[in-house]
A = this chain, B = another copy of it.
């Protein structure tokens, strides 16, 4: 009985699996690939030959192991030759990077972003950064895709930036603008910054091997990337993870979204400034302008940090009850707040989350730092290649 996937489909799946493996794990011996992918040696050899023929991997001798016997050849991703462009639109800057297959940051640039500037203004600035980077790109190198991380709600079907309070953007076709500007013909995948930072930390960072993770990202607002059962949770339309607008304090402050007492009104920069009796600072600087004095012993700053940390733990406890993650990662400004108020966060978690839901959870900060959105945008861009390596 000959049924099921065709030979072509199986070959495509296996090529994708092998390429994804070396993309994620780096240089890997044929012997290890055989074990990891559950394929025999001759198949691994044939797949590697196909990928090498397409310029996606190279084979070579491993580093000296000191062990006797003929060493297994090592398969490496062609990081210098095969790359994606990754972009990040942030409150006060625009970033672009060239990321090699395997996740290597080959080059990166940034320019300031003017307050109030539009997507139509951002796109040419980003493509200008690409032109700069092209100078340093070796002949024969191939761009296989592009991705962009944006602070805002991104429609799953087409990457439209529906709403981004931070930049003021509404219904901006950012991916389309970038695609037109790049002129490479590749679609530009668009993702929310928290989703993409989560993706990066899941593939290459602190959450490797974790199937149930909540990644909190703070900037002007607070959002989350969620992984459940090993897969990204983006919701029906792509707008999932808006945890900053979970209402935690019904009698709290009005929120920019029109509601009141949203989580981000209690843990964001403005809340810290308000509690500490300061003002006039924005974004990441706002958090630091309170966290730093608190670390130096300023009593009013310390009280403000404790209060915001208490609310941070409050919301985390809610999310732990709802999603029973094995890890919560505090990224962006939430990293600074968490590090300054870990005791408050843990205390709230212990008092508010059910024991069964919280007992396995680890609280962590990101491993990839500021690069996470770019790495994540590149991961998104590599998806097409990894799904069908010889078709891109």
Which residues of A pack against B, CB within 8 Å? 1-5, 7, 10-11, 13-14, 39-40, 43, 46-47, 153, 155, 162-163, 211-212, 224, 226, 228-229, 231-243, 245-251, 257-259, 314, 317-319, 321-326, 351-357, 360-361
Contacts and interface: CB of A to CB of B under 8 A. Distances in A.
A240 B324 contact: yes
A243 to B, nearest CB: 6
A240 B356 contact: no
A237 B356 contact: yes
A325 B235 contact: yes
B317 A247 contact: yes
Given A259-B352, A352-B259, A233 B238 contact: no
- Oligomer: number of copies: 2
Contact of A237 (B47, B247, B360): B360
A14 B3 contact: yes
A231 B234 contact: no
A162 B247 CA distance: 29
A202 to B, nearest CB: 14
A7 B243 CA distance: 46
Contacts of A228: 228, 231, 233, 235, 240
B233 A233 contact: yes
A357 B242 contact: yes
B356 A236 contact: no
18 contacts: A3-B43, A4-B5, A153-B354, A153-B356, A155-B356, A229-B233, A229-B234, A233-B233, A237-B324, A240-B324, A240-B357, A242-B321, A242-B322, A245-B353, A247-B248, A247-B352, A259-B352, A322-B322
Contacts of A153: 354, 356-357
Contacts of A323: 233, 235, 240
Nearest to A327: B236
B314 A250 contact: yes
A189 to B, nearest CB: 17
A14 to B, nearest CB: 5
Given A236-B212, A240-B323, A3 B354 contact: no
Nearest to A10: B4
Given A5-B4, A39-B3, A317-B247, A235 B351 contact: no
Contacts of A234: 229, 324
Contacts of A259: 351-352
